[in-house]
Amino acid sequence: MVICNKSWQEKLPVDVTFTRNVYTIDRDGVFAVQQPGKSTFTIDEGDMLVIKWR
């Protein structure tokens, strides 16, 4: 899943609740495990949040 911040002027706060382990993928292709539960992310201007699960 990809959440895109289309704004070039403001950061986008995102709250997501996971029911199982998922991975976020950063710009360098590094995977980070996210535990089940509520997580908060801030997406920079023009950037995106990539979430992978199986």
Tell me the per-residue pLDDT of 30-53, one tens digit each, with 9 for 90 and over: 999 999 999 999 999 999 999 999
- Asked if residue 5 lies in contact with residue 48, where contact means CB atoms within 8 angstroms, the answer is yes
- Cα(43)–Cα(24) distance, rounded to whole angstroms? 12
Domain ranges of the chain: 2-52
Could you give the percent of the chain with pLDDT greater than 70? Answer: 100
Phi, psi of 48 (to 5 degrees): -145, 160
Q: Evaluate if residue 54 carries a pLDDT over 90.
A: no
Average pLDDT over residues 8-37: 96
**Three-state SS annotation for 8-44:** CCCCEEEEEEECCCEEEECCCCCEEEECCEEEEEEEC
pTM, rounded to two decimals: 0.86
